[in-house]
Amino acid sequence: MVCTVCNKEAPEGSRFCPFCGAKLRLTIKTSKDPLIGVTLAGKYHILERLGSGAMGAIYKATHLNLGKPVVLKVLHPHLLREESHVQRFKREAKAASRLNQPNCITILDYDKTPDGWSYICMEYVEGKDLCRILHEEKKLSPERAIRIALQVVDALDEAHSKGVIHRDLKPENIMIEKLRANPDFVKVLDFGIAKIQDTSDTGSGSFKTATGMVFGTPEYMSPEQIKGEELDGRSDIYSLGVVMYQMLTGILPFTGETVLEVATKHLQQPPPPLEEVAPDLPKELVQVVNKMLKKDRRERFSSAGEVREALLHCLQVVTGQVSGITPTPAQVQPQIPTKKEFMPARTEQLQEAEGESEEFEFMKKSHTLRNLAIAGVAIIVIAALIVGFVVLRP
């Protein structure tokens, strides 16, 4: 997709140009891609173009040495002229390569070719991105939305633990792969504007770069990111809250005709009440999403781990039982039998006791009769001996 104002290529699915902020129209770039059919770096044969992001174009390719499909992200040619963009692209590879978690995309290679192409090679994921799924299905069931969100949270938890903040979490960057064990297996993509907190880069999470390029997608940006404040993991939690709102309702909480209008709503207006837009949602889930979307980050969940615990509780509410999940101590309640449950058990205990008593009485009587019989036999024997002694006495 090409912006008709500045004539620069914008990410597919974007509503606003990341360079000039203009609202995008459906103008598709029709010229032949020069990289299709090319073998990059002597080992990646490019087959087709899959899409485009703010930093680079996405291609499906074959790794010639391994004979397996891979994905190449190639930096846009117009960004190669600025070293800051080249370094940011390199930082994406560095950021993503730090992550070792099943829901994070795996980086296989990064390099720059002699003719100037900068690229990142990553694993190929067979599936659809969440944006396409929402376009086809409008919204998701609460259980499905929670299960997808839990996997995104696990990826964010891994990233935050390594000092990496995503800063552009949105449905386009959440791939859903259908596996036998999990029909909605998540891969979080595109750390293209990720911030590595312990690097020497002292730039903040500003809304724009010095060259005017928007950092992030306005519909999913946190208030502090819009204001250019220093970011932490709570910014990603806000973005995930927007994604969850969209999954559960089929609409975005904040929209507008311009970037400024959307940004202003993020800063000043509350989202349409979730309990009114989707009245059938459990109140526990509504409370979790509302907390993720708090304007003041101090009022949000403090970590991805906290979000995970809250979502697990919501999943238990939605399903009633969650296989393979150990409840927290606060969720374990002693099971006290009701009166109806107690009475049959008590009656059964009494009946067993009465049965044991009757058996004891029978055994007691049997024992007494046996003793009497023995005593009777003894008396007869003694009497016979006495009679015999008297009769036989001279």
Active-site residue set = 168
Coil/strand/helix, residue 111: strand
Residue 23 to residue 339: CA distance in whole angstroms? 66
The one-character DSSP state at 172 is: G
Helix (H) or strand (E) holding 73: strand 68-75
Tokens at residue 329, please? 């101590």
Selection from 122, 120, 9, 42 nearest residue 74 by Cα: 120
In a 10 Å sphere around its CB, with 0-12 CB exposed, 13-18 middle and 19+ buried, how is residue 385 labelled?
exposed
Selection from 70, 71, 69, 83 nearest residue 116 by Cα: 83
- CA distances 390 to 282, 292, 376, 387, 393, Å, are 103, 112, 21, 5, 5
Residue 16 to residue 124: CA distance in whole angstroms? 28
Sheet holding 68-75, edge to edge: 39-40, 44-52, 56-63, 68-75, 118-123, 107-112
* Apex 287 CA angle, 285 and 288, nearest 5: 65
Selection from 390, 142, 96 nearest residue 289 by Cα: 142
> Do residues 95 and 191 touch, judged by C-beta distance below 8 A?
yes
* Bridge partners of residue 16, in order along the sequence: 23
Selection from 68, 59, 123 nearest residue 97 by Cα: 123
**What length is written for the chain?**
394
> Do residues 47 and 62 touch, judged by C-beta distance below 8 A?
yes
The CB-side HSE value for 158 (13 A sphere, CA atoms) comes to: 19
